[in-house]
């Protein structure tokens, strides 16, 4: 419980008046939430069978709230780290707008409500997967791995990879090879995405004491690992088209995006010095977000069109 000691202090930094609604929304990491909802929706549409629209909306809402709960609990535990990093110093707890206890209570209530809602109103496979996701993100990633090992985001990446599986399970009540494939795509995408960020934010992570790969093993090893993960990611992302889960449209898009990802990852590996090296890492980081978004958008559009025609 390394992060715990700092919470009381951080909650009292500056002027904690009555926190507003906006601060609680910030605790939920809305941008992460939107990506979670998007990938979960893709999982729902890609799944065979159908779900009543009302139940579908409830499932998405519960998944969104569950993601928000994870964000709030993560901000509660990591408040001391957040205060030391430029990227996160303006979050509500380090800024002194919300206390650690408020974030903990808020996150816990949302977590319980979202899991129960998904379990009771949709199905318990989806509910259990949401519980696993929140638990994995909080206990395995945030509390256990983040401060201890450079493999933190590799294993912890699983938490971000579960939403399409939850969406799939909301429709089918089960787990299958297709939903595992969507999980694997996000899981393998996570390391190059975060390590590209860590390459140009290395000093930030070092100051905060987070053992990201560039801090522990150096930039050279990080560049090599980014390249290796990219080599696994690109064919994996094309695989849905090869196993009949997606069509030609998705296959073409994923192949084209994969070529760009390979090119940018190769640039990161090749350019190792100066501002150009930072620039290459930034380009890969920015593109990786677009990559995942377009990939899942292609899958979503293809399945939405197929359903509309049928």
Residue 90 three-state SS: coil
Question: How far apart are CB 84 and other proteins at their closest, in Å?
Answer: 28
Helix orientation angle between 163-172 and 152-161, rounded to the nearest 10 degrees: 30
The region of 3-11, 17-25, 173-181, 250-258 touching other proteins under the rule CB under 8 A is 17-25
Question: How far apart are CB 17 and other proteins at their closest, in Å?
Answer: 6
Q: Which of 181, 179, 175, 215 has its CA nearest to residue 197?
A: 215
Report DSSP state, residue 141.
I
Establish if 273 lies at the interface with other proteins (CB under 8 A): no
> Sign of torsion, CA 122 124 129 134?
positive
Report DSSP state, residue 92.
T
Establish if 55 lies at the interface with other proteins (CB under 8 A): yes
Establish if 309 lies at the interface with other proteins (CB under 8 A): no
Establish if 117 lies at the interface with other proteins (CB under 8 A): yes
> Sign of torsion, CA 118 123 129 132?
positive
Establish if 121 lies at the interface with other proteins (CB under 8 A): yes
If the CB atoms of residues 130 and 154 are measured against other proteins, the closer one turns out to be: 130
The region of 20-28, 84-92, 187-195, 228-236 touching other proteins under the rule CB under 8 A is 20-28
Establish if 52 lies at the interface with other proteins (CB under 8 A): yes
Total residues binding other proteins (CB under 8 A): 14
The b/e string for 145-176 (b: 16+ C-beta within 10 A; e otherwise) is: bbbeebebbbbbbbbbbbbbbbbbbbbbeeee
Establish if 99 lies at the interface with other proteins (CB under 8 A): no
Contacts 24+ apart (CB under 8 A), 78-82: 78/3, 78/142, 78/146, 79/3, 79/6, 79/7, 79/10, 79/11, 79/103, 80/3, 80/5, 80/6, 80/7, 80/9, 80/10, 81/3, 81/146, 81/147, 81/208, 81/209, 81/210
Distance CA 245, CA 153 (A): 28
If the CB atoms of residues 24 and 285 are measured against other proteins, the closer one turns out to be: 24
Interface characters, 152-181, with other proteins (x: CB under 8 A): ------------------------------
Selected from 16, 104, 113, 140, the binder of other proteins by CB under 8 A is 113
Establish if 58 lies at the interface with other proteins (CB under 8 A): yes
If the CB atoms of residues 16 and 232 are measured against other proteins, the closer one turns out to be: 16
Establish if 18 lies at the interface with other proteins (CB under 8 A): yes
Question: How far apart are CB 141 and other proteins at their closest, in Å?
Answer: 27
Helix orientation angle between 274-309 and 248-270, rounded to the nearest 10 degrees: 170
If the CB atoms of residues 25 and 243 are measured against other proteins, the closer one turns out to be: 25
If the CB atoms of residues 80 and 102 are measured against other proteins, the closer one turns out to be: 102
Which positions lie near other proteins, rule CB under 8 A? 17-21, 24, 52, 54-55, 58, 61, 113, 117, 121
């Amino acid at each position: 419980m390394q992060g715990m000691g700092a919470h009381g202090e951080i909650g009292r930094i500056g002027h904690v008046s009555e926190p507003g609604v906006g601060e609680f929304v910030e605790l939920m990491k809305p941008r992460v939430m939107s990506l979670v909802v998007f990938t979960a929706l893709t999982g729902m549409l890609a799944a065979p069978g159908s779900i009543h629209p009302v139940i579908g909306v409830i499932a998405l809402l519960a998944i969104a709230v569950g993601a928000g709960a994870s964000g709030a609990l993560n901000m509660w535990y990591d408040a001391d780290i957040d205060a030391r990093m430029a990227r996160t110093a303006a979050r509500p707890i380090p800024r002194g707008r919300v206390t650690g206890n408020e974030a903990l209570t808020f996150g816990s209530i949302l977590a319980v409500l979202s899991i129960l809602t998904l379990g009771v109103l949709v199905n318990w496979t989806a509910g259990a997967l949401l519980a696993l996701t929140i638990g994995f993100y909080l206990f395995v990633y945030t509390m256990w791995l983040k401060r201890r090992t450079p493999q933190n985001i590799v294993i912890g990446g699983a938490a971000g990879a579960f939403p399409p599986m939850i969406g799939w399970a909301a429709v089918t009540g089960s787990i299958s090879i297709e939903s595992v494939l969507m999980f694997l795509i996000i899981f393998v995408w996570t390391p190059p995405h975060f390590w590209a960020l860590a390459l140009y934010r290395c000093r930030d992570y070092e100051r905060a004491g987070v053992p990201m790969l560039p801090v522990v093993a150096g930039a050279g090893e990080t560049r090599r690992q980014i390249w290796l993960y990219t080599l696994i990611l690109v064919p994996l992302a094309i695989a849905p088209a090869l196993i009949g889960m997606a069509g030609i449209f998705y296959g073409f898009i994923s192949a084209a995006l994969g070529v760009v990802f390979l090119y940018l990852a190769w640039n990161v590996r090749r350019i190792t010095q100066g501002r150009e090296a930072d620039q290459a890492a930034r380009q890969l980081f920015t593109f990786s977000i677009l990559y995942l978004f377009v990939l899942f958008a292609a899958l979503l559009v293809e399945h939405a069109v197929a359903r509309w025609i049928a």
